[in-house]
Homo-oligomer: A and B are copies of this chain.
Amino acid sequence: MDSRKLKILQAVVDEYIVSGEPVGSKAIMKHVKASSATIRNEMAELEKQGYLEQPHTSAGRVPTYTGFRLYVDTLMERSSLSDDEKRMLDGMLDRNASTEEELVSSASLALSQLTKCASVVASSAPKFSLISKVEVIPTGKRMYVILMITSGGTIKNKVCRLEFDLTNDQLEFLDSYLSEHLEGVPVDEISDETFENLKTAMGAYMMSLTPLLAELFTLAKEMTAQDIKLSGAKNLLTCKDFDQAEIINFLDSDNRREIMKFVDDSFSGLQVTFSPEHDGFVIHNSSVITAPFKKGGRTAGALGLIGPMRIDYAKFIPYLEYFSQRITDLLDERGGAEDEEDKR
């Protein structure tokens, strides 16, 4: 492909990103040394090739997603972060966060504020962490709380109501059995089988304990469930590139499902995806940028940005990369010791 044509495409995208309006041949003259007529000819060809399109005959051109693809993959000139910017981004991270979740959330919040887009955090973290504590705590007549903590610092609990009160014997037995057989086990290795073993091991106590064990089991499942959190969703509502009804629909729907669609691919590295590339992503005209972050050398989750296709990639991609890098650093810094312990 002609180098001038590429330059023109780049110019169209650049202009479109800032203006949001179809770009005409005259506007391109600022970027490319050629007359408007020449540019028009080239643009007509770019349109034939599928990189541009015209909303209507007498309007300028708008990039198609294929055009954006080419732009993001090869044309775009990424701006690198100044020290000031880095400081600013650092300042928005909650370095005092005591949990991974809080740290990543603060990045997500910052991103959504900086970009006026929605931001998402997808964690796959629990998969690699071990159960470090299971406890059953009585909290009232026939009420029990099951508490589970992983080495990664995730804590969840479930309340369980039984038909009968447990005797001290039962509780003691249960407690010691659980700590003996579950602590140190990777969360994602808890399976139906584990559950069955557990039930039979309970022997005579089985009948009364089954509902409790069932809860325990679903709790373990919930711990491994991929957690997805959206922040700044309202930014999408006020974004004029989107159809409001569509956004409302999205916010209403179980959007985690939707978001999953692209999260799975995101763990391998920075990725930009456009809605038409993801069959059936509900928000038309949107793009999603994701960057994974690591913990102890392993991918622990991803940070993402959902916005219109017309987004300042050159600026926001570095933001995203910087955040994911910082998160990785911070998690390693503080997490190193813990991980060692886990492996013991």
Contacts and interface: CB of A to CB of B under 8 A. Distances in A.
18 contacts: A98-B143, A98-B158, A98-B159, A132-B139, A132-B140, A139-B149, A140-B151, A140-B153, A140-B338, A141-B337, A145-B149, A145-B155, A147-B147, A155-B157, A157-B157, A234-B251, A234-B252, A238-B248
Nearest to A334: B161
A114 to B, nearest CB: 16
Contacts of A143: 98, 153, 338
Contacts of A337: 140-142
B160 A98 contact: yes
Interface of A: 98-99, 132-133, 135, 137, 139-143, 145, 147, 149, 151, 153, 155, 157-161, 234, 237-238, 244, 248, 251-252, 334, 337-338, 341-342
A153 B141 CA distance: 11
A120 B126 CA distance: 32
Contacts of A338: 140-141, 143
Q: How many copies does the complex hold?
A: 2
A246 to B, nearest CB: 12
A178 B237 CA distance: 48
Interface of A is mostly: mixed
A149 B161 contact: no
Contacts of A334: 161
Nearest to A249: B234
Nearest to A244: B244
Contacts of A234: 248, 251-252
Contacts of A161: 98, 334
A147 B139 CA distance: 13
Contacts of A99: 159
B155 A159 contact: yes
Given A132-B140, A133-B139, 16 more contacts: A98-B160, A99-B159, A132-B139, A137-B149, A139-B151, A139-B155, A140-B151, A140-B341, A141-B337, A141-B341, A143-B338, A145-B149, A147-B147, A155-B157, A234-B248, A234-B251
Contacts of A135: 137
A160 B155 CA distance: 12
Nearest to A337: B141
A342 B140 CA distance: 8
Nearest to A157: B155
Contacts of A252: 234
Contacts of A147: 147
Contacts of A160: 98
Contacts of A153: 139-140, 143, 159
Contacts of A251: 234
Residue among A139, A151, A155, A237 with most chain B CB within 10 A:
A139
A297 B282 CA distance: 48
A141 to B, nearest CB: 4
A133 B141 contact: no
A149 to B, nearest CB: 5
